[in-house]
Structure 1
Amino acid sequence: MAGIAPRALCPGTDVFATPHGFFVVRSDVGCFLQAPACHAPGTVAIQGLHPACRGGHHYVGEASGTAVCILRGDTFHRAPDLSAAPSPGALPLHLTCRGGDHYASWGGRFSIVFLARGVVLSVADLTTGAEAEETPLAPAARHGLYYYAPGATHLAFLAMDEQQGLCSQICSSTGHREVLPVHADVASFLPSGLASVHGSAFGAWERVQLIQNETDEPLPGSHEITRKVGRVEEKLANWTFAGASSPAPVELSVALLQAQFSLPPAYGGLGLRTEQEEWEAVVEEGEELRVILQPRQKLYWWQYVLGLGQRPLLFCRGLKVTRSPAPPTNVPLPSSDALEAGV
């Protein structure tokens, strides 16, 4: 089962919850998701992320309204919502509030998770650190991928479960824990979520044609090689698109698939860049080739195909010919930055 990629691989990604629902921010695709809850979402809406809201280290939705705190380094900005520009003035984080691994907001307070220390710091104000209270973080809760506060007395985190896949684990102040599977329409929007829902990415050479000379004489001739090129139009999730800034569904699908294919295999990706491929709807193309086949010679024509699970989704442009029925062994696409960095 493919794991969900951590923030280190996908800067500008985060989750948070407010009375208005559960949110997933994806700076890399320029959008954010809003659902009533992550485990039983109902209507899942996609909206465009304002360009000035991209690239935050952390995103914290304030429980008192629609405002979102966008943390970058030791400062933060407030945006009225993620589709609008944040305030121009940066606010400093208090010294005690800096360097947290995760941030959440609930009931007018902020929680800051320090994983190495195994504690959660609760403050009334990020700029003053007022009314600070520190509580231990349960050992089992130290391995979450993303943390958020679903209520004033709960802290939750997303983590992979061997039986149920991606789950939300909701911890109460009394120590009770509830584990709920994350709905597929929400999981699909998270980094590497497409692989956790649809299956890991694959890349394979597919034979498109065989031409052969069954005589004992050289055989000149023309041959029409027919292949598919482009993206298979398949629905990735049951999303609605709200607001004038929302992307077209096709644009989002392409961006999410490109991001998925670029991730390392540990997260259901291939570590490959695919932006240079043809991402328009798949069409059939023919190419006439003139070759001289030697006596008893066979030529095998191959095309590289990418997909998720067992479903082909992208037919690449490049063709390769072999004299053997075994497919080629090379990969005809460049490596992504994540793979080259050894992540």
Structure 2
Amino acid sequence: MAQSDRSTVDWTPVDASLVPHKDAPGTDIFVNQGGVFIVRSDLGCYLRTEDLKTRTGTEIRRLHPACQGGDHYLSDSENPPNIYIIKGDSYRVVKDLSTDAMATVHQLHPNCRGGDHYMHCASGFHIIYLERGVMRCVLDMSTDAQGHDTPLKPDRCKGLYYFGFIYVQGLIEVDKKWGAQYYLFLDIVSAKYVFSIHPDVLNFFPGGLTLTQGASTGGWECIKTLHNDSDSSITWSDKVTCKVGYAKQQMSSIEHNWSISAEVSVGAGELTKLITQFQFSLKTQYGGRSVRTEQEDWNEAREEEESIQVTLEPKTNLYIWQYHLSIGHKPVLFCRDVHFTKENKPPEYIPLPPIP
């Protein structure tokens, strides 16, 4: 009986894009005198950087529990600035997302509810209603003071995320040719300025790994092939070696240029693991696989042996497959499932729980 080891993997590439604000609950971006802030409620932390295009001074800080789960996050240009967390029909005003300092809660005026995006510029609060194609400007979101609607220009309706600072309005898009970009508009003129987002910052956005590392792929790898060329049945009993777990080193470079605060509940390595798990859970249009992986072995990948005993009929083959997931072309998670086929074709099913 002849036997051979690993063969090529059957990968299925997918198209991908950054996850927009509407599909990433608890995630948003805002700018104030302290820098640029990207909030990830699902990770319990936020990223602060001095500049989106250079990632200077990038650090990860703890997100206070009271400041998590907001529908929208924005900030003004006061000194020190106020941070506004909109949740449903009310909003919370704090001075620090890590401490919930000086928190107050207010009701949103009916005319200021249900916006797709919120930001603050020097002229007040700007609320974008995409379906209506307007931006409502108010001085106070609780009173709708001096509220009025302004038609949105076509080039300001395509943003995945929006932010404002002083006299500038900004939005983030993913260009098919140039990748993740952010555009700055001046309120008083039609000039538009475009910049790229640094990969170290982009990695923190939902789906950002898609644009920096590549889309998630999954497939079965043939880890051993058995051949019975004889005219009688043969019983094969041996151990099969396969890799199981999380290829931590493959993803560790993500955090190399992040300074993670000691107060963050998840430390170095653990944060990358959570981001990687989230990436696999995304829809394929955002570079994910729409599968749950929490129940898989997320310890450091290692070689394991599994005892197998099979009987091969005369003149037959047996193929032993293992499933794993990759980001780009890098294998990241080696799943525990091992499957047998009589033909050199990988199994057709995915051995991970799907996300509806």
User: Could you tell me whether the CA contact under 8 Å between 1:66 and 1:81 is conserved in 2?
Assistant: no
| Residue of structure 1 in register with 2:107 after alignment | 92
| Residue of structure 1 in register with 2:232 after alignment | 217
Q: Secondary structure at the match of 1:203?
A: strand
Provide the rounded CA distance (Å) in 2 between the counterparts of 1:312 and 1:76: 43
- Select which of 2, 27, 32 maps to 1:18: 32
Q: Secondary structure at the match of 1:8?
A: helix
Deviation at 1:236, TM superposition (A): 4.8
| Residue of structure 1 in register with 2:283 after alignment | 264
User: Could you tell me whether the CA contact under 8 Å between 1:68 and 1:78 is conserved in 2?
Assistant: yes
Provide the rounded CA distance (Å) in 2 between the counterparts of 1:71 and 1:295: 69
Give a deviation string over 1:189-223, Cα, whole Å, max 9, x none: 11111112111111100111112223222222321
| Residue of structure 1 in register with 2:167 after alignment | 153
Distance 1:114 1:11, change over 3 A: same
Q: Secondary structure at the match of 2:99?
A: coil
CA RMSD across the alignment: 1.8
Higher relative contact order (CA 8 A, sep 6+): 2
Q: Secondary structure at the match of 2:269?
A: helix
User: Could you tell me whether the CA contact under 8 Å between 2:22 and 2:116 is conserved in 1?
Assistant: no
1:170 and 2:206 aligned: no
Q: Secondary structure at the match of 1:117?
A: coil
Provide the rounded CA distance (Å) in 1 between the counterparts of 2:123 and 2:153: 23
User: Could you tell me whether the CA contact under 8 Å between 2:233 and 2:311 is conserved in 1?
Assistant: yes
Provide the rounded CA distance (Å) in 2 between the counterparts of 1:268 and 1:155: 28
**Runs of 4+ displaced beyond 4 Å:** 86-89
| Residue of structure 2 in register with 1:6 after alignment | 20
Question: Which amino acid is the alignment partner of residue 42 of structure 2?
Answer: D
Question: Which amino acid is the alignment partner of residue 247 of structure 1?
Answer: V
1:183 and 2:198 aligned: yes
Give a deviation string over 1:69-93, Cα, whole Å, max 9, x none: 1111111112331112366653111
Q: Secondary structure at the match of 1:235?
A: helix
Provide the rounded CA distance (Å) in 2 between the counterparts of 1:311 and 1:49: 31
TM-score, length-scaled by structure 2: 0.89
User: Could you tell me whether the CA contact under 8 Å between 1:25 and 1:32 is conserved in 2?
Assistant: yes
Q: Which runs of 5+ in 1 are unaligned?
A: none
Provide the rounded CA distance (Å) in 2 between the counterparts of 1:60 and 1:179: 21
Question: Which amino acid is the alignment partner of residue 112 of structure 2?
Answer: C
Deviation at 1:333, TM superposition (A): 0.8
User: Could you tell me whether the CA contact under 8 Å between 1:220 and 1:292 is conserved in 2?
Assistant: yes
Give a deviation string over 1:13-49, Cα, whole Å, max 9, x none: 1111111111111111212111112122223211221
Q: Secondary structure at the match of 1:186?
A: helix
1:46 and 2:33 aligned: no
Deviation at 1:66, TM superposition (A): 4.8
Deviation at 1:132, TM superposition (A): 3.4
Superposed, 1:316-335 pairs within 5 Å as 316-335=335-354
User: Could you tell me whether the CA contact under 8 Å between 1:102 and 1:146 is conserved in 2?
Assistant: yes
Superposed, 1:269-288 pairs within 5 Å as 269-288=288-307
- Counting matched residue pairs gives 336
